[in-house]
């Protein structure tokens, strides 16, 4: 049994918080919106981000970061990429250096073009684990079979996080290619946007297949140039998010 | 300007026949069904296989193989995989050995487990080219952007076929990995069936993404064991047909 704190009460974070609470962990969610906090604690719902779901008693919400992180064994950054740095700055000197920071955010930092694990490392001395997977939080809530990738510079932490989240319906793979997982998860959005354009233009499956196939090759080229491993770009991080 | 004979008047063959006729080639279609032949020649339609399409004058249909192949520069086998061998036996001693045989069929021969290019080579001494691409003939008819792969033991012929079929909306890539293209195009159906099962069971995108990602890895393993190149299995042959 661990204590896990989610910083951010959005849909994917909330889905994972429920999953961990159902595994008998103690789960805290920090959210800056007091209404969300009260709704979770009093009504046991989070209608904006988790429609028609009951949040188990193992989850407690806080409107105060210090209270939320008190005693945490793991901290999950379930916030958008553009606030990762400022959130890490708020955590500075408030958490023990051995607490793994788990990021489920996607993207590259604006202006600096840095991967999010780099951003976190620049602000905190803690181990960083990237969980990269499906965007469909509602399917996790429905316990539909889902796969996700856990990666870290130090794979010991990636494996710990794998064990933490693994259930019969939520399968966590580990991947040693931190760079590839982060770059793939961010860059694939370019191709995903183009796939939307294809739909909008009224093109068909043949066209989309062509885009995805060539797009995967291009993602892989960018990723390899940035230090990732080619095979990562044909894996879960890219495909899972690209297709749907 | 070339003369191309299609053996089989199904939907993908007919779509390619129209494409070639519109490029000012002389195109013959052999079909064993006399009604299909008459409908093409008289009404300029093929309602069963090409709904709402007009077949251009450059296409002539025949109910007799000898007449259809007379003077052909290329012969396209647009028939199902299980009749490839018997069709090649019918062509034996009736065609010059320098006429490329282009197969657009998918699969592995029943009982023998042989790739279709092997089956053709066992019956005929002609060069063999495999065109492997989308199953959505109706999108080719609609001139929606489409990509396809041309491969052969002797890439000179694959390149000739690339030039023959290439248009502004129909992009033909060449790939030197004949084994990989053939195996990928056949084996991916196992995963495509499983994808249908996932839909039937009411699972979601997360589950299907997991299946496709792991399925591609498994297809690649089978394909590499059979002599293909790993990268082929993350390319058009597999992805284009797997996704939709």
Contact assignment for B208 to A244 by CB distance below 8 Å:
yes
Q: Which residues of B218-238 are buried (b: 16+ CB within 10 A; e: fewer)?
A: ebbeebbebebbbbbbbbbbb
Chain A residues near residue B214 by CB distance under 8 angstroms: 147
Residue B214: pLDDT band with limits 50, 70, 90: confident
At A109 the pLDDT is 96
> Minimal Cα–Cα distance from A115 to chain B, Å?
24
Whole-number percent of chain B with pLDDT over 70? 95
Yes or no: say if B208 and B192 are a contact pair by the CB < 8 Å rule.
no
Domains in chain B (CATH in brackets) are: 3-176 (3.40.50.720), 179-243 (1.10.1040.10)
Yes or no: say if A61 and A37 are a contact pair by the CB < 8 Å rule.
yes
Residue A136 is nearest to which of B147, B206, B214, comparing CB atoms?
B206
Contact assignment for A136 to B236 by CB distance below 8 Å:
no
At B150 the pLDDT is 95
Average of per-residue pLDDT values in chain B: 92
| Span B62-83, average pLDDT | 97
State pLDDT tens for residues B166-183: 999 999 999 999 999 999
Q: Which residue has the tokens 């996080």?
A: A161
**CA-to-CA separations, B99 to A84, B91, B118, in angstroms, rounded:** 63, 11, 17
d(CA A39, CA A44): 6
Q: What angle separates helix B178-200 from helix B205-225, to the nearest 10 degrees?
A: 150
Chain B residues near residue A171 by CB distance under 8 angstroms: 210
Q: Report strand pairing: A101-103 vs B101-103.
A: unpaired
Chain A residues near residue B133 by CB distance under 8 angstroms: 206
Q: Dig out the tokens for A167 from the structure.
A: 């259930």
State pLDDT tens for residues A76-106: 999 999 999 999 999 999 999 999 999 999 8
At B236 the pLDDT is 63
Q: Which residues of A197-218 are buried (b: 16+ CB within 10 A; e: fewer)?
A: ebeeeebbbbbbbbbbbbbbee
Polymer length in residues for chain A: 244
Q: Transcribe B63-89 into DSSP letters.
A: SSHHHHHTT-SEEEE-S-GGGHHHHHH
At A238 the pLDDT is 60
At B109 the pLDDT is 96
State pLDDT tens for residues B91-112: 999 999 999 999 999 899 999 9
d(CA B204, CA B94): 53
> Minimal Cα–Cα distance from A35 to chain B, Å?
30
Q: Looking at the complex, does the CB of residue B137 fall below 8 Å from at least one CB of chain A?
A: no
Q: What are the residue ranges of helices labelled H in chain B?
A: 11-22, 34-38, 65-69, 84-91, 116-123, 137-141, 155-165, 178-200, 205-225, 236-242
Contact assignment for B239 to A205 by CB distance below 8 Å:
no
Q: Looking at the complex, does the CB of residue B193 fall below 8 Å from at least one CB of chain A?
A: no
d(CA B91, CA A43): 76
| Span B25-52, average pLDDT | 95
**CA-to-CA separations, B60 to A203, A210, A226, B80, B230, in angstroms, rounded:** 30, 31, 55, 21, 41
At B24 the pLDDT is 97
Residues 6 or more apart whose CB falls under 8 angstroms from that of B202 comprise none
> Minimal Cα–Cα distance from A76 to chain B, Å?
21
Contact assignment for B243 to A134 by CB distance below 8 Å:
no
At A83 the pLDDT is 96
Measured from the Cβ of residue A241, the count of other Cβ atoms closer than 10 Å reads 23
Residue B209: pLDDT band with limits 50, 70, 90: confident
At A234 the pLDDT is 78
Chain B residues near residue A146 by CB distance under 8 angstroms: 206-207, 210
Whether the model clears a pTM of 0.90, i.e. scores above it, the answer is no
Task: Give the strand order in the sheet containing A26-30.
Answer: A59-62, A26-30, A3-7, A74-77, A101-103, A128-132, A146-152, A170-174
Contact assignment for A209 to B147 by CB distance below 8 Å:
yes
At B188 the pLDDT is 87
pLDDT tens digit at each of 244 positions of chain A = 999 999 999 999 999 999 999 999 999 999 999 999 999 999 999 999 998 899 999 999 999 999 999 999 999 999 999 999 999 999 999 999 999 999 999 899 999 999 999 999 999 999 999 999 766 899 999 999 999 999 999 999 999 999 999 999 999 999 999 999 999 989 988 988 998 999 999 998 899 888 888 888 889 899 999 999 988 887 765 654 455 4
Residues 6 or more apart whose CB falls under 8 angstroms from that of A127 comprise A98, A100, A101, A152, A153, A154, A157
């Amino acid at each position: 049994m661990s204590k896990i704190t989610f910083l951010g009460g959005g849909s994917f974070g909330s889905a994972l918080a429920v999953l961990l609470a159902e595994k008998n962990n103690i789960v805290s969610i920090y959210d800056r919106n007091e209404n969300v906090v009260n709704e979770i604690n009093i009504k046991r719902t989070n209608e904006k981000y988790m429609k028609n779901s009951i949040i188990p008693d193992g989850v407690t919400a806080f409107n105060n970061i210090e209270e939320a992180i008190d005693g945490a064994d793991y901290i999950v950054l379930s916030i958008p990429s553009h606030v990762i740095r400022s959130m890490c700055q708020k955590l500075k000197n408030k958490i023990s250096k051995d607490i793994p920071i788990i990021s489920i955010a996607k993207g590259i930092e604006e202006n600096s073009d840095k991967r999010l694990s780099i951003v976190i490392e620049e602000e905190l001395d803690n181990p960083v684990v990237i969980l990269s997977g499906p965007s469909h939080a509602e399917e996790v809530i429905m316990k539909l079979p889902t796969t996700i990738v856990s990666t870290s510079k130090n794979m010991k932490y990636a494996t710990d996080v794998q064990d933490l989240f693994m259930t019969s319906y939520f399968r966590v793979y580990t991947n040693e290619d931190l760079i590839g997982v982060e770059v793939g998860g961010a860059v694939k959005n370019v191709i995903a946007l183009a796939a939307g354009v294809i739909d909008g233009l009224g093109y068909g499956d043949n066209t989309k297949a062509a885009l995805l196939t060539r797009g995967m090759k291009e993602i892989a080229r960018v990723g390899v140039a940035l230090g990732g491993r080619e095979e990562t770009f044909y894996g879960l991080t890219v495909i899972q998010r690209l297709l749907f």
